[in-house]
With several copies, the nearest count.
Chain A
Amino acid sequence: MPFIPHTESDVREMLDAIGADSVEALFDEIPSALRVDGLRGVPPAMSEMEVTRLMEARAGEDATCLNFIGAGAYEHHIPAAVWQIATRGEFYSAYTPYQAEASQGTLQLIYEYQTMMSRLTGLPMSNASLYDGASALAEAVLMAVRANRKSKARKVLMPTSVHPAYRAVTRSIVGSQGIDLVEVPFDRASGRVDVASLSGFEGGDVTALVIPQPNFFGVMEEVDALTDWAHANGAQAIGVVNPVSLALLKAPGEWGAKGADMVVGEGQPLGAPLSSGGPYFGFMCCRKEHVRQMPGRVVGRTQDADGREGFVLTLQAREQHIRRSKATSNICTNQGLVVTAATIHMALLGPEGLERVAGTCMNNTAALVEKLKAKGFEVAFSGERFHEAAIRLGADAEQVMQRMADEGVLGGYPLGRDDPDLKDVLLLCVTETKTEADLDAYVEALETAVSSVR
């Protein structure tokens, strides 16, 4: 019996102590008509050796391609130390630190994480994480509605330069709460939101404006102008950012005259492997005055009975286990282990390391763009880019991507999936993991694929 330590004599002694004849008798309160007789859909047990062989075969099936897809999940080097420490039993098999005195490891680590995220974003308050970047945006929209008490319209402007999956998740999650999500188109030439295009909303009641940086196309948005526009129109400014880009790009807390009100994003680039999309983690930071509207767990520093400093879960009055139907969110479990990894990852990189990673990503992307331009390909958008670029292929991007994959190169994300006008545009990403030779391999695979499809 895997993982069950009971010997026959244990069972006998335990049943005696209980005063029951058999283990079966312990289930006597369950109506017998409901009892199931075996699980035919579950295969028989396997030994660890057998499962190991199965899983190695399965993992081996998924060819290790040269990956140039980004689109919300980014391939970075993760120091070996990160997951070796994060998967230590004391982190891996602990739960939410309800008993603070016996959980100072996790609690101090989260406090350090909150500090790092606050410094990265330039906003003073951070929670202990949300599920992922997309659901964090949904939570931020809900939070903005709670925080902006002056606004009655529950109207949130959502540029279409925001990741389409983030927009979809936000719709799914806030859809039943009477919130009016209004999509704002981006400028087709620059690939970013033209502030002038928001003029139709001026003077109306706008609760919040979502501002991606860089946006889904890797293009830098005019964050100062957008933030100022939001504030001028009584709206909250919600940033959605790539945390690695913040090593180079202005912190959301410094956007415009007053800074963004809250910022969320996908934490994956900070130490989580691609891993088919998860587990990642969403981060969220905000201004001090909104902290009690923030969803999710928060760790605070305090003192113990002897006056020694230590860490506890705090602001629990916001949470569902206290507030129940009046909670700021139903979130309970978050992404603790991935946050553990991210904290170690950020500590290992440090300020200069993170800057080098971001700078190398950006330069590598620029280098590939130059190579592609030399081959006659065009960049779809004129706006400045971080580490992604939308390339116009003059051929169906979905087909080109498939052909490239057959040759072992994952060429990018076909933008036509979400926007029929961009059927011939491929969104590629180059991180610090790619060498000059990789870029050349990309160009070759792309040219071959395009010519076979055209």
Chain B
Amino acid sequence: MLIFELSRPGRRATSQAPLAAPAAPAVPERFRRGSRVPLPEVSELDVVRHYTRLSQKNFSIDTHFYPLGSCTMKYNPRASNTLAMLPGFLRRHPYAPDQASQGFMACMYELQEMLMDVTGMKRVSLTPMAGAQGEFAGVAMIRAYHRSRGDEARTEIIVPDAAHGTNPATATMCGYTVREIPTDADGDVNMEALKEAVGPTTAGIMLTNPSTVGVFERRIKEIAEVVHDAGGLLYYDGANLNAILGKVRPGDMGFDVIHMNLHKTFSTPHGGGGPGAGAVGVSERLRPFVPVPVVDKQGDAYRWLTDKDLPESIGRLSAFAGNAGVLLRAYVYMRLLGREGMPRVADFSTLNANYVMARLKAKGFDLAFPNRRATHEFIVTLRRQAKENGVTAMDVAKRLLDYGFHAPTTYFPLLVPECLLLEPTETESKETLDAFVEAMGQILDEARNDPDTVKGAPYTQPNRRFDEVRAAKELDVAWSGSIREASVG
């Protein structure tokens, strides 16, 4: 039942708006709204009950193991939420003058400093509001760099075929042509193809390391040399930073610019699809170009640097200073972990991934890169099961829901057929992983002996499998019923 279907004319949560109806405001006729907005008319209890019950229909980290590859679904500390929502932080207007903002700015400054150390970069800007916006900022800085040198010939961005879809999309948004290069059988970038691809039109390369196929790009120094020698810059997609936190730093690998998904590595909540935060870090040569604002410290006082201070900046990406509340959550998480906690994240996320990989292999699953270490994630391919039993990666994913586990990422990266990308994260216990492996083993048995059961899954959720074609064809993105006539049973 939709909230609109609970609506009755005249019903209201009266405490929530001014008690006295205001005198008719002086809106001239030509600007005035014709009729009242048809929002739902419901009581406070209706709202609380409706959304509380809706929430219970979700799988989430707080209720289920959620090994969604590339998304780093680890425990989101409850303290981060409490502390970012302290009244002093919630009430601060983004244009409050610096003298009334030193507490908040101190947190942001220290967050910038910590992220610089973690990535080995020379300046950090916190303003991008998600990973994709961080990517945009990164590529825009590469462009600004080449332009500042009068190097206008560089029109191409190189992207491995296994890259996140955001990478080529971002390059296009920045006015670049995308040149894809293939991945070797063992998951590394194909060096021959890279060498062929680079040249005077190369603006840069976008890489993830560990890569999207779950392995560490071993020849990263060589790649950096090839690209740098050709006059290009290296962009680091920080989606997989969790795997190497405190172990290797993108700056040390030779990257010029990085975005970090704070909602992955630094455990801010995913919130059903955001908000994220996509802070960017840059090497020395890109320092002038970072998006504004950033926080500077002068003596004991913090102040904002804007485009007046950084005239070569690529500019603003958000109306104010990014997703401040998300940044505060990341700050809290980093202070809780501290310098000791950072490498442990890499240690145990890697341990968990390799453990699940080893056990799934023992259960009879095929690995996409059987000769490689897993990083914090790894890929299983269901190609054999699809061929032999007609059971696809999607079927296995849906069947996992019935066993009480969220599915891994399916069909990404595109180059591995029928793939599942699994990322257990460091916060899950061996017992949980073992239970998951057992479920996977049972599903494999079902695939062999009773494939229709797997193909028909799920059976235990609020809905069976959906008709997605119908959703796109008979598009229904907003309820068209009338709240005035709604009838409720």
Distance in angstroms from A80 CB to nearest chain B CB is: 4
**A90 with B56, Cβ < 8 A, contacts A62-B96, A99-B401 known:** yes
Distance in angstroms from A86 CB to nearest chain B CB is: 8
Set A39, A83, A108, A359: member contacting B24, Cβ < 8 A: A359
Tell me whether A62 and B477 are in contact (CB under 8 A).
no
Residues of A close to B318: CB separation below 8 A: 131-132, 134-135, 169, 277-278
B312 CB within 8 Å of chain A: no
Tell me whether B56 and A105 are in contact (CB under 8 A).
yes
B285 CB within 8 Å of chain A: no
Residues of B close to A23: CB separation below 8 A: 347-348, 350-351
Residues of B close to A432: CB separation below 8 A: 17-18
Alpha-carbon distance between A388 and B215 when the two chains are bound, in angstroms: 55
Task: Kindly supply a per-residue 1/0 record for chain A positions 92-108, scoring 1 wherever the CB is within 8 Å of any chain B CB and 0 otherwise.
Answer: 11111111111111101
Tell me whether A314 and B13 are in contact (CB under 8 A).
no
**A89 with B63, Cβ < 8 A, contacts A79-B78, A112-B2, A353-B12 known:** yes
Chain B's closest residue to A273 (CB) is B90
Alpha-carbon distance between A17 and B355 when the two chains are bound, in angstroms: 7
Residues of A close to B317: CB separation below 8 A: 135, 169, 172-173
Which of B263, B334, B462 has the most C-beta atoms of chain A within 10 angstroms of its own C-beta? B462
Size category of the B interface is: 35 or more
B470 CB within 8 Å of chain A: yes
| Chain B stretch 195-248: residues in CB contact (< 8 A) with chain A | 215-216, 218, 220-221, 244, 246-248
Set B99, B164, B324: member contacting A275, Cβ < 8 A: B324
Residues of A close to B472: CB separation below 8 A: 300, 314-317
| Chain B stretch 75-106: residues in CB contact (< 8 A) with chain A | 75-79, 81-83, 85-97, 99-104, 106
Residues of A close to B465: CB separation below 8 A: 101, 304-305
Residues of A close to B395: CB separation below 8 A: none
Tell me whether B129 and A362 are in contact (CB under 8 A).
no
A189 CB within 8 Å of chain B: no
Task: Kindly supply a per-residue 1/0 record for chain A positions 344-378, scoring 1 wherever the CB is within 8 Å of any chain B CB and 0 otherwise.
Answer: 10111111111111111011001000000000000
**A48 with B79, Cβ < 8 A, contacts A132-B319, A352-B17 known:** yes
Tell me whether A248 and B25 are in contact (CB under 8 A).
yes
Alpha-carbon distance between A422 and B170 when the two chains are bound, in angstroms: 38
| Chain A stretch 237-265: residues in CB contact (< 8 A) with chain B | 246-251, 254
**A254 with B34, Cβ < 8 A, contacts A100-B463, A106-B58, A349-B13 known:** yes
| Chain A stretch 6-26: residues in CB contact (< 8 A) with chain B | 6-11, 13-15, 17-20, 23, 26
Set B42, B114, B164, B348: member contacting A4, Cβ < 8 A: B348
Tell me whether A41 and B116 are in contact (CB under 8 A).
yes
Task: Kindly supply a per-residue 1/0 record for chain A positions 383-423, scoring 1 wherever the CB is within 8 Å of any chain B CB and 0 otherwise.
Answer: 01000000000000000011001100010010000000000
Residues of B close to A336: CB separation below 8 A: 270-275
Segment touching B, from A151-159, A200-208, A319-327, A441-449: A319-327
Distance in angstroms from B31 CB to nearest chain A CB is: 5
Distance in angstroms from B60 CB to nearest chain A CB is: 4
| Chain B stretch 99-129: residues in CB contact (< 8 A) with chain A | 99-104, 106-107, 113-114, 116-118, 120, 129
Distance in angstroms from A190 CB to nearest chain B CB is: 13
Tell me whether B88 and A89 are in contact (CB under 8 A).
no
Residues of A close to B426: CB separation below 8 A: 3-4
Tell me whether B323 and A278 are in contact (CB under 8 A).
yes
Residues of A close to B368: CB separation below 8 A: none
Residues of B close to A338: CB separation below 8 A: 271, 274-275
Tell me whether A4 and B344 are in contact (CB under 8 A).
yes
Alpha-carbon distance between A17 and B356 when the two chains are bound, in angstroms: 9
Set A73, A98, A103: member contacting B95, Cβ < 8 A: A73
Set A75, A223, A250, A333: member contacting B132, Cβ < 8 A: A333
Tell me whether B477 and A274 are in contact (CB under 8 A).
no
Alpha-carbon distance between A20 and B354 when the two chains are bound, in angstroms: 10
Distance in angstroms from B422 CB to nearest chain A CB is: 14
Tell me whether B218 and A124 are in contact (CB under 8 A).
no
Residues of B close to A333: CB separation below 8 A: 130-132, 261, 263, 270, 273-276
Segment touching A, from B43-51, B380-388, B442-450: B43-51
Residues of B close to A61: CB separation below 8 A: 88, 102-103, 106
Alpha-carbon distance between A131 and B357 when the two chains are bound, in angstroms: 36
**A277 with B169, Cβ < 8 A, contacts A28-B373, A310-B463 known:** no
Residues of B close to A326: CB separation below 8 A: 172
Tell me whether A320 and B104 are in contact (CB under 8 A).
no
**A5 with B83, Cβ < 8 A, contacts A297-B273, A325-B171, A347-B42 known:** no
Task: Kindly supply a per-residue 1/0 record for chain B positions 360-400, scoring 1 wherever the CB is within 8 Å of any chain A CB and 0 otherwise.
Answer: 00100000000011100000000000000000000001100
Residues of A close to B120: CB separation below 8 A: 36
Distance in angstroms from A382 CB to nearest chain B CB is: 13
Tell me whether A2 and B337 are in contact (CB under 8 A).
yes
B145 CB within 8 Å of chain A: no
22 CB-based A-B contacts, threshold 8 Å: A6-B430, A14-B355, A18-B358, A34-B252, A47-B15, A51-B332, A58-B107, A85-B52, A94-B270, A99-B397, A116-B39, A173-B317, A176-B143, A250-B31, A277-B320, A301-B476, A302-B476, A303-B467, A306-B464, A334-B273, A353-B12, A410-B93
